[in-house]
Amino acid sequence: MGSVKQLQLADLPGLPAGQLKGEWARRMGAPAPNLSPDLLRLGLGYELQKQRLGGLSRESQRLLRQNANASSRKPEATTFVPRNLTPGTQLVRDWHGEGHTVTVLGNGFEHSGKTYRSLSAVAKAITGSHLNGPRFFGLT
């Protein structure tokens, strides 16, 4: 009797939709949702990584619960619980087809070799307009 090969992350790009749905059902214990093969690959990839490396941190789980609770109380609002950015965190934003990476510093933000005091200043440097920086980078 041969052994069944364990699914690896590197196997996902080559799996056809039928096999992806079968893997989903086997791993999740429920039929695959009606999603594109790319989204099924992302979901399975997350599960494989979670199995190997562990899931979300308690802090991330807490933050997600708070955001879910806040949005269920005010479904029309798009406000989220603020998150403290630690130095070294990188924020990524695509603006008109150009990728922008901002690094959080202890005393501000770095973008393209320049230091800014606020995310709004970075957003203005990128767009040329006065914008809410945290909103521009998807933090609120």
Q: Three-state SS for 70?
A: helix
- Structural domain includes residue 62: no
> What is the domain range of residue 111?
90-136
Cβ–Cβ under 8 Å, residues 75 and 67: no
> Does 85 fall in a domain?
no
Residue 66: C-alpha distances to residues 60, 73, 99, 140 (Å): 10, 11, 30, 13
Q: Is residue 75 part of a domain?
A: no
**pLDDT of amino acid 83:** 62
As for how many domains the chain has, the answer is 2
Domain annotation covers residue 107: yes
Examine residue 4 and state whether it is found in any structural domain, yes or no: no
Contacts of 59 (CB under 8 A, 6+ apart): none
The Cα 102–Cα 88 span in angstroms is 10
- Matching residue, tokens 């199995």: 51
| pLDDT, tens digit only, all 140 positions of the chain | 555 578 898 999 999 999 999 999 999 999 999 999 999 999 999 999 998 888 888 888 888 888 777 766 665 555 544 567 888 989 998 898 888 999 999 889 999 999 999 999 999 999 999 999 988 988 87
Instruction: Tell me whether residue 61 is in a domain.
Output: no
pTM: 0.48
pLDDT of residue 2: 53
Three-class SS state of 4: coil
